[in-house]
Amino acid sequence: MLLAAAFMACSLVVCAQTSFLHGLRFSADGRLLATAGGDGHAKIVDVATGTTLQVCEGHRGHVYTVAFDPLRPRLVSGGFDSTVRVWDVRTGAGVQVLVGHRGQVLSVDVSPLGTQIASGSSDGTIRLWNAATGAAEAVLRGHTMSVTSVRFSADGTQLLSCATDGTVHVWNVRSGQIVRSIPAEHSCGHAYAAGFSPTTADIAVTENTATSSCSIWEPASTVPTSILSGHRGPITSLTYLPNGSTIVTAGADRTVRLWDVKSGRCMATLADHHGHVSGVAVSPDGTMLASCDLSGMTIIRKVKQIIASDDAVDAELRVDPNPARDMVTISFDVLADETTDVTITDVGGRKIATPLVASALTRGRHTIRFDASHLADGLYVVVISTASGTRTTNMHVVR
């Protein structure tokens, strides 16, 4: 089917005349965008015009995931029919069908050097394939439930995976061994998405808990070093900007959010989707942001214009000093006259303190004082809750 494209103030909106869209990815040069559809098709779109260039047909049932080969004119997809399929980007013709999984293929990725394909499945396994020949190379077993995300590291030597059993592993792709895991005591329920930082060895993982948050983990850390909290529902997709300092998340609350990794502050909230946002991707040069939803809509935006837009940027929330030792000042903006709560939680979302409860505040800038001297050293989350939304930032306590 054709896609209808129209330029908005800072976006190219692509409305797909189809049912669900489960995910999307940019090509290595950023000129193409591939989508995974509930109609059983993987589609290749021209980013500049929104025109559908190719429709890849062959999967039986939903296509859940897509990824471009960085070296060859190929697209990799996975779907309900338990297969991984490789397509010629120029013609849309099938090149290979990779068979081995015994469950739906929920995530695929291609290594940065174009040597391997990784696939994660509802059968609980990860499979590695030779990207050139399609030959099976390894089966990685370490999850007990559906593997929802697989992502290669920037050098292609490691693979990050997460699953609905809450497990998150980093694998050595050469040996097939687990080299790092998130500690069991921090199991995050259903883990939907994970990603490597492009500039450090940090990893980000979305958590389907009461907090619906994304946690950042440094290589040697036993607790998260940053928490990104604000979505009102499961976070189903995430990606880093190439600078490594910004993460983009998307979720069931129909929003796309941009976060400052270090502070945990939400820099922008985009709420123009009509359904559950199922996928988010950033072009390799970091200039374009694309997202898709279960209503069939794809939106492509310019990143600079998102950050510059007054309508998109959340009201400021700051903690000073941060790191904290004893008394801190929490400063925040209220966008309308409304009842406001300020809550301090730990990294698991457990309420630690409530400096402000159901207070009627007027529109404008507000500050409150909070005594953090009774808190143990560690990472905490400051949550501002109003009828119009929730904002968060991290507070580190160090003595």
User: What is the CATH classification number for the domain harbouring 342?
Assistant: 2.60.40.2550
143 and 265 assigned to the same domain: yes
Categorize the per-residue pLDDT at 213 as very low, low, confident or very high, splitting at 50, 70 and 90: confident
Choose among 272, 224, 223, 228: nearest CA to 249: 228
193 and 324 assigned to the same domain: no
Categorize the per-residue pLDDT at 9 as very low, low, confident or very high, splitting at 50, 70 and 90: very low
Q: How many CB atoms lie within 10 A of CB 51?
A: 13
Span 101-111, mean pLDDT? 98
Would you state the structure tokens that stand for residue 366, as one six-digit string? 């507000």
Provide the pLDDT for residue 94: 98
Categorize the per-residue pLDDT at 182 as very low, low, confident or very high, splitting at 50, 70 and 90: confident
What are the distances in angstroms from CA 122 to CA 39, 107, 147? 20, 10, 6
Provide the pLDDT for residue 305: 78
97 and 180 assigned to the same domain: yes
- For residue 384, give its domain range: 317-397
Contact 152, 118 (CB under 8 A): yes
In tens, the pLDDT along 310-337 reads 444 445 788 999 889 999 999 998 878 8
Provide the pLDDT for residue 192: 85
184 and 328 assigned to the same domain: no
Provide the pLDDT for residue 312: 45
More confident position, 39 or 398: 39
Provide the pLDDT for residue 31: 95
Burial class (CB in 10 A: 0-12, 13-18, 19+), 69: buried
291 and 364 assigned to the same domain: no
Which of 108-112, 292-296, 331-335 shows the lowest mean pLDDT across its residues? Answer: 331-335
84 and 181 assigned to the same domain: yes
CA dihedral 61, 62, 67, 69 (to 10 degrees): 10
Span 16-26, mean pLDDT? 83
Contact residues for 337 (Cβ-Cβ < 8 A; gap 6+): 360, 361, 362, 363
Q: Up-side HSE of residue 168: CA atoms within 13 Å toward CB? A: 26
**Cα 151 from Cα 160, distance rounded (Å):** 5
271 and 334 assigned to the same domain: no
Which of 64-73, 246-255, 314-323 shows the lowest mean pLDDT across its residues? Answer: 314-323
The residue out of 278, 308, 338 marking a domain boundary is 308
Span 345-365, mean pLDDT? 88
What are the distances in angstroms from CA 94 to CA 67, 89, 225, 228? 15, 9, 44, 40
- How many domains is the chain partitioned into structurally? 2
Span 284-308, mean pLDDT? 89
Choose among 71, 140, 152: nearest CA to 109: 152
**Cα 289 from Cα 138, distance rounded (Å):** 33
339 and 199 assigned to the same domain: no
292 and 323 assigned to the same domain: no
Query: Does residue 10 carry a pLDDT above 50?
Result: no
Q: Give the pairing type, strands 84-88 and 74-79.
A: antiparallel
137 and 160 assigned to the same domain: yes
Query: Does residue 167 carry a pLDDT above 70?
Result: yes
The residue out of 290, 308, 326 marking a domain boundary is 308
CATH number of the domain that residue 248 is part of: 2.130.10.10
Choose among 215, 230, 322: nearest CA to 267: 230
Categorize the per-residue pLDDT at 17 as very low, low, confident or very high, splitting at 50, 70 and 90: low
Which of 151-160, 186-195, 269-278 shows the lowest mean pLDDT across its residues? Answer: 186-195
The residue out of 274, 308, 342 marking a domain boundary is 308
156 and 258 assigned to the same domain: yes
302 and 321 assigned to the same domain: no
Which of 2-11, 29-38, 60-69 shows the lowest mean pLDDT across its residues? Answer: 2-11
Query: Does residue 361 carry a pLDDT above 70?
Result: yes
Provide the pLDDT for residue 209: 59
